[in-house]
Amino acid sequence: MNFDIYTLVLRIIVALIALPIHEYAHGYSAYRMGDYTAERQGRLTLNPLAHFDPIGTIAIILFGFGWAKPVPINPLNFENPKKGMMISSLAGPLSNIALAFLSMVLYKLSYIPAYMGITGAFLSTVQTFLLFMISINITLGVFNLIPIPPLDGSRIATYFLPQRIYFKIMQYENIIFIVLLVALWFGVFDLPISFVSNLVTGILDYATRPIDWLTALIM
């Protein structure tokens, strides 16, 4: 996949925003439920360096989905370990969907200056950046909901799976992760991720329709 420098820089900036917020959401939700592990290890931060994973970061820059270094969470600190793990795991993908929603609002609002005759390279760059924020955050959120270790979806599945089955699966987490990487390389998940991402994009577009009405009113 070929990128020019302009596109590459924008995608890197998006990755440096999306991944830290994703991991911070995990750590903060766990913190609010009584697990202070992330805070004690210096991971309750938006500093990208604290969450940097070279392979996962490169993947999100090139393909739009990837991962960061997982925030440490100890479910034994939760009043209800299964429920706490499910909520803290879900927080990451939801933070990306929220970022995508905010970016879509800003993207649609950015056309108001254009309708008023205010254009230029800066506005065009902002709009391109916001488009990347929308697409990459949605894809990142959808990707991490896949119920395969070590993705967030596998942790969310703990709430619905019997413990003996879950722990049996987790014994093979490293092997499953290698299989996941191979599957990603050969594009096994491209079609389902694209389908669900387009569905989420459509939902967010519908939810931001009032911005479209506002823009039409101004026109």
Tracing tokens 């795991």 back to the chain, one arrives at 89
Q: What are the angstrom distances between the C-alpha of 87 and each of 25, 71, 94, 173?
A: 10, 14, 10, 21
pTM of the model: 0.89
pLDDT at 86 over 80: yes
Which residues are known catalytic residues?
Answer: 23
Q: What percent of the chain has pLDDT over 70?
A: 98
Closest CA to 22 of 54, 55, 63, 57: 57
Give the whole-angstrom CA distance, residue 29 versus residue 39. 11
Instruction: Report the phi/psi class of residue 35: left, alpha or beta, with left for phi > 0 and alpha for psi in -120 to 50.
Output: beta
Determine the Cα angle at 12 with ends 9 and 13, to 5°.
90
- Which whole number is the average pLDDT over 68-88? 92
pLDDT at 1 over 60: no
Task: Tell me the pLDDT tens digit for each residue of 160-190.
Answer: 877 777 777 777 777 888 888 788 888 888 8
Identify whether the C-beta of residue 25 lies closer than 8 Å to the C-beta of residue 33: no
Q: Pick the residue with more confidence: 172 or 210?
A: 210
pLDDT at 31 over 90: yes
Q: What is the DSSP letter of 189?
A: T
Cis previous bond, 54, omega within 30: no
Identify whether the C-beta of residue 29 lies closer than 8 Å to the C-beta of residue 155: no
